[in-house]
């Protein structure tokens, strides 16, 4: 029975804030095991479950239901590694313990901030598209918890990729963008004739900032820009994070934490998700584990889950890489924060991807000009009658005696003061005759671009790319500069000798000509850094046809017959050996996936 709860307990968990159903499953019914109510006070051997050798059946059921069947459901028994399964059992199989008072007040303050922001936008800019977070405000304390832990652990940076749902809220309450910077975009400053003229730039742009935890520790926060293709940012973000980690060069420490925020329908329905997950443990692409957060509002535009996927959960695709999955009720912010802590701890310990499925709802339509009651009338009758997460949690704290009525009033005043500050900042931005929001001369609709984009801005004069005859001969000679102890395949040895001959005598064929620009690129990149102290340059070549394409004469790497494919020498790396200066070349065997593998180098 204990095993059944570990495997199937999530099916009985109360994770849906829109309905409460007394769920049951035959594997979790005590009658299935020949037990009755008369056995509740009998002691049973547990094999160490609950930290004791013997427990009453009543206590065993209590621990199992607290761990797997309350407002959190956990899927981890599909993981093959016993150490990982044992870790989950040690973390969750104990009686419930509520968070400290300080943690409770921080949760309330974050919910206040999230709701204040959305309430202001709704009252001030009625009907304008913003893709609000209303119904899923628990995302803000969730992200706050993860990034706070990252800052306290000394991680260098947290990089976030997300679609447009809740993006403005994350920009202001997590990434540190000011209210005025965001609200100015709502004031009609965009030019309809420009590329950004539709006004949607405000929920597609990224930003960079600094996050400070309660303990005073800081970490950088990067929020990547994202187009309307909801999951297009996935592999791009992984490429950004991998590039940052390569430049920091801290090995297995993985000092940059990637966080991806998805929608439930997009996570299940868009193929780039599976492609990106498939790259997560590959040596050339891994980033030490990504925390995936599903803002599961139980509808994809107008499509119900029953019409948009064949799986039980939108997260089932993640089981392909044996990622653990947490399903949590978005109306229980304490559970959300606890799951955030567990997800972060799992990533830090095992350096693997982890999924947080936060089940919530979408209070308004797909956008604020949409009326969802036309296609989901029953769902939106329930949503219309629901109180906000902030109200529910505040009332819960009062009912449990965790805070007093006076403290609740103070929390409400704090909420109202936040609204007043929002109004004041917005008014200052609106009445300012001269935009003083950003010093970025190429800002998009008065919103500054991320620092990386500003640094790359400008016109670069094209460099001469021709290869001199002397360099061509040196490149050819490098094909015969085989490392000591390395045995080249007999068929490839003839190819190498032919390439060296062509570099001296001419008559270069197409396959050899194809490799010359790649060698030239590696050669130029291997020059000494522009300034002392800069990190080494990295050159990556990735494809499922690297290093062996369909045509043998286009080979770019050679393996030793007696050592299999694990030992290979990159032919372009032989060239770089002539002048190294710390250049790092990676020749990656990629996957057949297109968009996932393409996104990695786009950084």
Domain co-membership, 373 together with 505 = no
Q: Which of 400, 424, 457 is the last residue of a domain?
A: 400
Is 538 in a helix, a strand, or coil?
Answer: strand
| DSSP code for 535 | P
| 75 occurs within a structural domain | no
Q: Which of 400, 418, 446 is the last residue of a domain?
A: 400
| 453 occurs within a structural domain | no
Which structural domain range is residue 64 located in? Answer: 2-70
Domain co-membership, 292 together with 396 = yes
Cα–Cα distance for residue pair 267/318, rounded to 1 Å: 9
Number of domains in the chain: 3
Q: Which residues contact residue 397 at a Cβ distance below 8 angstroms, ignoring those fewer than 6 apart?
A: 104, 108, 403, 408
| 94 occurs within a structural domain | no
Max mean pLDDT range (164-168, 254-258, 366-370): 254-258
With contact defined as beta carbons under 8 Å apart, do 549 and 580 qualify?
no
CATH number, domain containing residue 42: 1.10.287.1150
pLDDT digits (tens, 9 = 90+) for 299-327: 887 888 888 889 999 999 999 999 999 99
Q: Which residues contact residue 1 at a Cβ distance below 8 angstroms, ignoring those fewer than 6 apart?
A: 28, 30, 32, 33, 35, 60, 64
CATH number, domain containing residue 355: 3.40.50.970
Domain co-membership, 235 together with 342 = yes
pLDDT digits (tens, 9 = 90+) for 382-412: 888 889 999 999 999 999 888 888 888 888 7
Domain co-membership, 485 together with 539 = yes
The residue-averaged pLDDT of 331-341 equals 96
The residue-averaged pLDDT of 511-527 equals 63
Domain co-membership, 62 together with 135 = no
The alpha helices in 45-156, defined as continuous H runs, are 57-68, 82-92, 101-124, 139-152
Q: Which of 53, 70, 87 is the last residue of a domain?
A: 70
Furthest C-alpha separation in the chain: 94
Domain co-membership, 60 together with 169 = no
Cα–Cα distance for residue pair 392/496, rounded to 1 Å: 72
Q: Which residues contact residue 257 at a Cβ distance below 8 angstroms, ignoring those fewer than 6 apart?
A: 146, 150, 155, 157, 158, 159, 241, 288, 291, 347
Domain co-membership, 128 together with 47 = no
Of 447, 428, 426, 445, the closest CA to residue 437 belongs to 447
With contact defined as beta carbons under 8 Å apart, do 449 and 208 qualify?
no
| 108 occurs within a structural domain | yes
Strand 538-543 to strand 584-589: parallel, antiparallel, or no bridges (unpaired)? parallel
| 185 occurs within a structural domain | no
| 465 occurs within a structural domain | no
Domain co-membership, 25 together with 125 = no
Cα–Cα distance for residue pair 399/566, rounded to 1 Å: 62
pLDDT grade for 467, boundaries at 50, 70 and 90: confident
pLDDT on residue 542:
65
| 48 occurs within a structural domain | yes
Cα–Cα distance for residue pair 67/74, rounded to 1 Å: 8
CATH number, domain containing residue 507: 3.40.50.12470
pLDDT grade for 147, boundaries at 50, 70 and 90: very high
pLDDT on residue 294:
95
How would DSSP label each residue in 392-403? HHHHHHHHHTSS
């Amino acid at each position: 029975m204990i095993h059944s709860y570990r495997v199937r307990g999530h099916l009985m968990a109360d994770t849906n804030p829109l309905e409460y159903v007394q769920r049951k499953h035959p594997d979790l019914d005590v009658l299935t095991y020949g037990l009755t109510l008369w056995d509740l006070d009998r002691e049973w051997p547990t094999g160490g479950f609950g930290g004791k050798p013997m427990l009453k059946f009543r206590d065993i059921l209590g621990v199992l239901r607290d761990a797997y069947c309350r407002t959190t459901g956990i899927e981890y028994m599909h993981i093959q590694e016993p150490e990982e399964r044992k870790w989950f059992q040690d973390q969750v199989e104990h009686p419930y313990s509520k968070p400290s008072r300080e943690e409770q007040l921080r949760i309330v303050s974050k919910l206040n901030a999230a709701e204040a922001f959305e309430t202001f936008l709704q009252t001030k800019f009625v009907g304008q598209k913003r893709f609000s977070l209303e119904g899923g405000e628990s995302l803000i304390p969730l992200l706050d918890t993860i990034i706070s832990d990252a800052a306290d652990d000394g991680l260098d940076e947290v990089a976030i990729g997300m679609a447009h749902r809740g993006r403005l809220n994350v920009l202001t309450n997590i990434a540190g963008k000011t209210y005025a910077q965001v609200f100015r975009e709502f004031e009609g400053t965009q030019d309809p004739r420009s590329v950004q003229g539709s006004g949607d730039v405000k929920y597609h742009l990224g930003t960079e900032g600094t996050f400070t935890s309660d303990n005073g520790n800081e970490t950088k926060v990067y929020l990547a820009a994202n187009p309307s293709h909801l999951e297009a940012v996935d592999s791009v973000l992984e490429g950004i994070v991998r590039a940052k980690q390569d430049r920091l060069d801290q090995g297995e420490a993985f000092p940059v934490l990637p966080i991806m925020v998805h929608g439930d329908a997009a996570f299940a329905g868009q193929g780039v998700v599976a492609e990106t997950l498939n790259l997560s443990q590959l040596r050339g692409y891994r980033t030490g584990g990504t925390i995936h957060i599903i803002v599961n509002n139980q509808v994809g535009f107008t499509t119900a889950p029953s019409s948009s996927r064949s799986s039980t959960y939108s997260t089932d695709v993640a089981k392909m890489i044996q990622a653990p999955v947490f399903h949590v009720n978005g109306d229980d912010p304490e559970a959300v924060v606890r799951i955030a802590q567990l997800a972060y701890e799992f990533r830090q310990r095992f350096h693997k991807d982890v999924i947080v499925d936060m089940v919530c709802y979408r209070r308004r339509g797909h956008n604020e000009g949409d009326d969802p009651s036309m296609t989901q009338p029953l769902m939106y009758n329930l949503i219309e009658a629901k109180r906000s997460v902030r109200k529910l949690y505040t009332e819960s704290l009062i009912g449990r005696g965790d805070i007093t009525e006076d403290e609740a009033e103070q929390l409400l005043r704090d909420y109202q003061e936040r609204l007043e500050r929002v109004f004041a900042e917005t008014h200052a931005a609106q009445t300012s005759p001269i935009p003083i929001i950003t010093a970025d001369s190429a800002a998009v609709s008065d919103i500054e671009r991320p620092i990386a984009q500003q640094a790359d801005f400008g016109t670069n004069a094209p460099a001469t790319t021709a290869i001199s005859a002397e360099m061509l001969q040196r490149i050819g000679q490098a094909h015969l500069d085989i490392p000591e102890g390395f045995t080249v395949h007999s068929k490839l040895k003839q190819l190498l000798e032919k390439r060296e001959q062509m570099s001296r005598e001419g008559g270069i064929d197409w396959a050899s000509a194809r490799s010359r620009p790649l060698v030239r690129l590696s050669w130029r990149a291997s020059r000494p850094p522009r300034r002392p102290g800069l990190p080494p340059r990295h050159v990556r070549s990735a494809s499922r046809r690297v290093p062996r394409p369909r045509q043998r004469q286009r080979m770019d790497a050679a393996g030793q017959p007696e050592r299999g494919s694990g030992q290979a020498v990159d032919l372009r790396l032989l060239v770089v050996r002539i002048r190294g200066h710390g250049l790092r070349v990676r020749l990656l065997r990629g996957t057949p996936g297109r968009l996932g593998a393409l996104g990695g180098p786009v950084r």
